[in-house]
Structure 1
């Protein structure tokens, strides 16, 4: 065994000098030995033994062998990774915390670990330190974690052509249970779904501002806003019911939160636009070469965005048409995106598209320059990977205007209404010369004479809020439920 071997157990787990030191102290005390006694037995000064016991210096192999002989124990016992006692485990954790960079950054004096310091006090200090570590770790890791999770989720959606058969089956089962025969889903049928799942609906004026609905699982109640919010009132209810029907549990991490959001949104959309009726409608439209997101929207009385999402769910699976989807803020940044048709979205180094700027020449940006915001905008765009056709529409929200676009490669445009558009652009992005590099004459004149102040979209760039359900004030929700709980 070498000095290097002393630092590791057989399973390569690092041996902590604090643990070794506490074990030496425990064994010395059990044997009634003083520091001087043990020091004399191994040929070291008492102060050197004290340094080892306090974990301030790693013992050499020869010293550990001498300590084992003096204490009459096998060497393996000294090298055990387990703390000798529960109290010792607390003291070791406290010492380790104080030696870490987080504690050092706080500028606090060291806290001596004395016998008078109770186990409860040490536990409280360790709990506070752990929470500080969690907050620092979350602030440092969450933006990257969120972007990685978004990237992986989009890959999963692409592999499945954004079609989830099990969710389609669940939607059909739920709609069948309340006798919905097809066509637009009325508010009454949505209420029947709530009753079928064991819930009563309560419309309130004081719904927490961070929520669209609140479900009281204990009392079988769903709380919804009493006044209009600008959203389809059925959507919030169906999403709440979808979470329950899918048996969702508290999300473990941001990736789990994203997955749950996608599944509940998918299921609620599948109830608003049932698969069978939608496929029959779209198949007939394809036969007439008149596919249109607007027609799907009007046939099922939903929002344009819901219809566009639902089209991407069904287009490849049932119509054999690859598609892409974009929701873009008026600033040009991507809010949501999906593709299985090779459309090359701008990405960051992690592969995430959220928050990236869309080419100015794409339909998703060009539509903002069109005066007529009631009619759909159609455009062909020649891109490095080929020519794509897109249809875009604008929707106004409290966060500003967004364009919602659905597109397909040129080979499939023959099935769509709007294919005869004369609008055409050429995009060479990500080449900066396409739309991000200013003309030479303007750049020469203004590049050293201007200082713009950027307006960043905090919702796209900020770290995810803390809490089990990101963005939701749990205290506010709990106080709301307590106030409305039936007495």
Structure 2
């Protein structure tokens, strides 16, 4: 029999479990208090000193018979040896640090366990334990659970709504950068993107072996920015460059939490959009379109040679601040799941109990879902939708991505439709998801026929059941990253 389950309470139930490390340290304390050497105790119990050393350091779990012999040799009861309460502060700290050294935190940091000698000051032990606890706290913060991620998303969306999705400090930084490279206005060329990189001290290098978990890699030591030599279909090489540089322009440091990581990502995307579609040039363009009652996301896209999604995002940045138009934006996966959302026009999107919109199913009758069934993929789709919150007009397009097709839509309240191309559409829908079941439940006839006869194998999103990737750069394999940088770093004398 080992020490596991060796003690019971008076009622017969097991007392709190004590581990081998705690018992080993208690034996050492009792032995040294009686001025016995390890050899003395070993001779008394007829064991090798090395065996007792393994027990005292917690590396071996003793059998109950040996513990009884040790207790007799030390002149104490077996209960004194198995006592779970710490002996003193010093011993408690040593035991805690021993456990920490055997745990995942030290292992992940590559710190090998070391012997805690008597010469190690108490203050040093306390400092090491404090550092270990802080590292674990930061790790826990960065390993955001799906619920924490949704809360962070909700908080950020509320901030965007309060500011009408307009951030003047980011607009100002974009202006400074564009002025520094003498950008004349209009579409930002690939050459201008390279000029911005040079202005910030980076040279561009296109490689075929970029780590799979990255879009770009910046070598801050040598001022080199690595990008993929293969541009995906419908991709924009300027966007990859500007997104990589945006974090340097914004002075981003290692995120302290998932909320920090999410905010930095939003800031990066905003600044990239502000560089591609400069405020100083886009606002007069949009004012002219409004005067002609001809606002069009497609025209904004074409004028600045950006993707439809970038044009839609940029319109939400500028519409309320400069045109006095409140808007909403939706990005919906072909499965019906909302992946991005923004509104300041009081449209009612489906939300969970935390208020999170992302991850919810979009109403089947909303423009963002209907557009998937429209055969004409070349022209934008327009629709009026009557809801419990009023009537809204939307324009939407379907775009392909590596994760499947997505619809991107921008909409306004009925009163603001007069400013937009597509207001004459006869397409109409009715969505009541905000006030009743609407499309969230299958028609009664179908449900009655199939409810007990269907069993789908659900394609569960990875982040639904697992924590989000942790680390300095969530989702990035840092071994791949550092091996890549080491392989591509310029060599001295080369």
1:89–1:358 distance in 2 versus 1, CA, 3 Å:
same
1:283–1:449 distance in 2 versus 1, CA, 3 Å:
same
Q: Are 2:482 and 1:454 equivalent residues in the alignment?
A: no
Q: Are 2:191 and 1:188 equivalent residues in the alignment?
A: yes
Distance (Å, rounded) in 1 between the aligned partners of 2:144 and 2:475: 17
RMSD over equivalenced CA pairs, Å: 3.6
In the alignment, what sits opposite 1:293? 297
For the Cα contact (< 8 Å) 2:395–2:411, is it kept in 1? yes
| Further displaced range: 436-445 or 288-297 | 436-445
Q: Are 2:354 and 1:350 equivalent residues in the alignment?
A: yes
Structure 1 unmatched runs, 5+: 1-18, 33-44, 59-77, 103-116
1:219–1:119 distance in 2 versus 1, CA, 3 Å:
same
Q: Are 2:163 and 1:160 equivalent residues in the alignment?
A: yes
In the alignment, what sits opposite 1:233? 237
TM-score (norm 2): 0.75
Q: CA deviation at 1:131?
A: 12
In the alignment, what sits opposite 1:200? 203
1:445–1:136 distance in 2 versus 1, CA, 3 Å:
farther
Distance (Å, rounded) in 2 between the aligned partners of 1:96 and 1:247: 34
How many residues align? The count is: 410
Q: Match of 1:447, SS?
A: helix
In the alignment, what sits opposite 1:219? 222
Q: Are 2:370 and 1:366 equivalent residues in the alignment?
A: yes
In the alignment, what sits opposite 1:272? 276
Distance (Å, rounded) in 1 between the aligned partners of 2:242 and 2:144: 33
Q: CA deviation at 1:344?
A: 1.3
Q: Are 2:148 and 1:145 equivalent residues in the alignment?
A: yes
Instruction: Encode CA deviations 1:440-464: one digit per residue, 9 max, x unaligned.
Output: 2222222222222222343676531
Q: Match of 2:396, SS?
A: strand
In the alignment, what sits opposite 2:286? 282
1:178–1:457 distance in 2 versus 1, CA, 3 Å:
same
In the alignment, what sits opposite 2:469? 465
Q: CA deviation at 1:181?
A: 1.4
For the Cα contact (< 8 Å) 2:377–2:397, is it kept in 1? yes
Distance (Å, rounded) in 1 between the aligned partners of 2:237 and 2:211: 16
In the alignment, what sits opposite 1:56? 84
TM-score (norm 1): 0.76
Q: Are 2:368 and 1:340 equivalent residues in the alignment?
A: no
Q: Match of 1:397, SS?
A: coil
In the alignment, what sits opposite 2:384? 380
For the Cα contact (< 8 Å) 1:26–1:84, is it kept in 2? no
Q: Match of 1:146, SS?
A: helix
Instruction: Encode CA deviations 1:432-484: one digit per residue, 9 max, x unaligned.
Output: 63112222222222222222222234367653122211121111011010000
Distance (Å, rounded) in 2 between the aligned partners of 1:486 and 1:97: 38
1:350–1:94 distance in 2 versus 1, CA, 3 Å:
farther
Map 1:63-74; keep pairs closer than 5 Å. Answer: none
In the alignment, what sits opposite 1:171? 174
Q: Match of 1:321, SS?
A: coil
Q: Match of 1:202, SS?
A: strand
For the Cα contact (< 8 Å) 2:348–2:434, is it kept in 1? no
Q: Match of 2:440, SS?
A: coil
1:417–1:254 distance in 2 versus 1, CA, 3 Å:
same
Q: Are 2:319 and 1:315 equivalent residues in the alignment?
A: yes
Distance (Å, rounded) in 1 between the aligned partners of 2:465 and 2:313: 24
For the Cα contact (< 8 Å) 2:417–2:423, is it kept in 1? yes
